[in-house]
């Protein structure tokens, strides 16, 4: 078995910039601390029973606060809760698929000896392992998961191409998806004793590796936005609130297929999500990191503030 030796300074022809050093460090961490879906999770030890009460939605989940959910039996609440988990994991698989495609597109634009090339590939590998563990959980649950609408399927091609055509907008898409999920998983881990062990292990692995991905996307934006043309900065300013609001809702709210499966009445969805000040505040909170970054980068301008208030 060979022993890994860091190589970044062997290939660099000039001293790395602070951004390049940070990216090199992220690559080193991807080598020293990483997980594999089928060796680092004991799938056999923890079977999934859809009636397991540990799958019931947390009491502070937006839907758990409604009479519609509270009036169900404990077994029904558990099955619904598990279906929310698998729906969220399926959204994660789709999101990570787009993310990987976009990163591969981005990598093809990078010159030799650019540290971002290596890191982009580390992230693609890590996201592939995440998708393997999400899909394995879905398959072992034996529950149906959600499907992608034709419109969203077309949108995935457009977003993946941004990795090559407009990587800064692509990185905002990345943060819009990763930050809300990271926040949700960290919150759930605080209730670890009530979590199914497979779920706890998956989340623990995910938040560890996502910290690197979030750092890369943030560092990329911090490094590059100030060098963009005026036209691209305007485009980014206008797109940011709409994209981030859309992504947070996609990650934090149930997909239409799940609403249809349980025939959740529209007024219940309204009460749980649209007219729920607590949920709206948690969406804003989930995006607070990337919103602050946009502010620091000068992407929140007076004329776009109403857009931010409307979208988030």
**Can residue 22 be called a binding residue for Fe ion (CB under 5 A)?**
no
State the CB neighbour count (10 A cutoff) for residue 57.
18
Cα separation of 187 and 250, whole Å? Answer: 18
Between 94 and 271, name the residue whose CB sits nearer to Fe ion.
94
Between 80 and 159, name the residue whose CB sits nearer to Fe ion.
159
Q: How far is the CB of 99 from Fe ion (least distance, A)?
A: 6
Between 83 and 210, name the residue whose CB sits nearer to Fe ion.
210
Question: Applying CB under 5 A, which part among 73-81, 144-152, 208-216, 217-225 lies near Fe ion?
Answer: 208-216
Between 126 and 168, name the residue whose CB sits nearer to Fe ion.
126
Cα separation of 122 and 32, whole Å? Answer: 12
Distant-in-sequence contacts of 94-97, Cβ < 8 A, 24+ apart: 94/148, 94/152, 94/156, 95/177, 95/251, 96/127, 96/128, 96/130, 96/131, 96/134, 97/131, 97/156
**Can residue 183 be called a binding residue for Fe ion (CB under 5 A)?**
no
State the CB neighbour count (10 A cutoff) for residue 280.
14
**Can residue 213 be called a binding residue for Fe ion (CB under 5 A)?**
yes
Looking up tokens 């693609």 gives 124
Question: Applying CB under 5 A, which part among 122-130, 239-247, 273-281, 286-294 lies near Fe ion?
Answer: 122-130
**Can residue 130 be called a binding residue for Fe ion (CB under 5 A)?**
yes
Residues 312 and 244 sit within 8 Å (Cβ to Cβ) = yes
Which helix or strand (DSSP H or E) is residue 242 part of? helix 230-252
Between 36 and 142, name the residue whose CB sits nearer to Fe ion.
36
Question: Applying CB under 5 A, which part among 24-32, 207-215, 229-237, 284-292 lies near Fe ion?
Answer: 207-215
**Can residue 90 be called a binding residue for Fe ion (CB under 5 A)?**
no
Cα separation of 38 and 98, whole Å? Answer: 23
Q: How far is the CB of 178 from Fe ion (least distance, A)?
A: 5
Q: How far is the CB of 213 from Fe ion (least distance, A)?
A: 3
Cα separation of 83 and 89, whole Å? Answer: 10
Q: How far is the CB of 76 from Fe ion (least distance, A)?
A: 30
Contact residues toward Fe ion (CB under 5 A) are 127, 130, 210, 213
């Amino acid at each position: 078995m060979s022993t890994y030796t860091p190589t970044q300074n062997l290939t660099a022809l000039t001293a790395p910039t602070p951004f390049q050093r940070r990216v090199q460090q992220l690559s080193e961490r991807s080598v020293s601390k990483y997980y594999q879906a089928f060796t680092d999770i004991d799938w056999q030890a923890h079977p999934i029973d859809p009636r397991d009460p540990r799958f019931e939605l947390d009491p502070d989940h937006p839907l758990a606060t409604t009479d519609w959910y509270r009036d169900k039996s404990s077994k029904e609440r558990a099955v619904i809760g598990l279906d929310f988990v698998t729906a969220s994991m399926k959204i994660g698989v789709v999101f990570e698929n787009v993310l990987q495609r976009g990163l591969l597109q981005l990598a093809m634009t990078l010159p030799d000896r650019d540290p971002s090339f290596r890191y982009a590939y580390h992230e693609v590998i890590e996201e592939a392992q995440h998708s393997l563990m999400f899909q394995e959980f879905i398959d072992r649950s034996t529950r149906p998961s959600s499907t992608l609408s034709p419109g969203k399927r077309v949108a995935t091609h457009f977003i993946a191409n941004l990795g090559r055509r407009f990587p800064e907008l692509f990185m905002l898409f990345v943060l819009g998806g990763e930050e809300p999920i990271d926040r949700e998983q960290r919150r759930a881990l605080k209730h670890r004793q009530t979590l199914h062990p497979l779920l706890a292990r998956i989340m623990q692995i995910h938040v560890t590796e996502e910290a690197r991905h979030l750092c890369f996307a943030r560092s990329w934006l911090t490094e590059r936005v100030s060098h963009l043309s005026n036209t691209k900065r305007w485009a980014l300013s206008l797109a940011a609130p709409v994209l981030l609001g859309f992504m947070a809702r996609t990650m934090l709210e149930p997909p239409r297929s799940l609403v249809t499966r349980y025939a959740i009445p529209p007024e219940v969805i309204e009460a749980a999500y649209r007219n729920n000040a607590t949920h709206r505040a948690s969406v804003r909170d989930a995006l607070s990191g990337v919103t602050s970054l946009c502010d620091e980068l000068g992407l929140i301008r007076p004329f776009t503030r109403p857009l931010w208030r409307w979208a988030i």
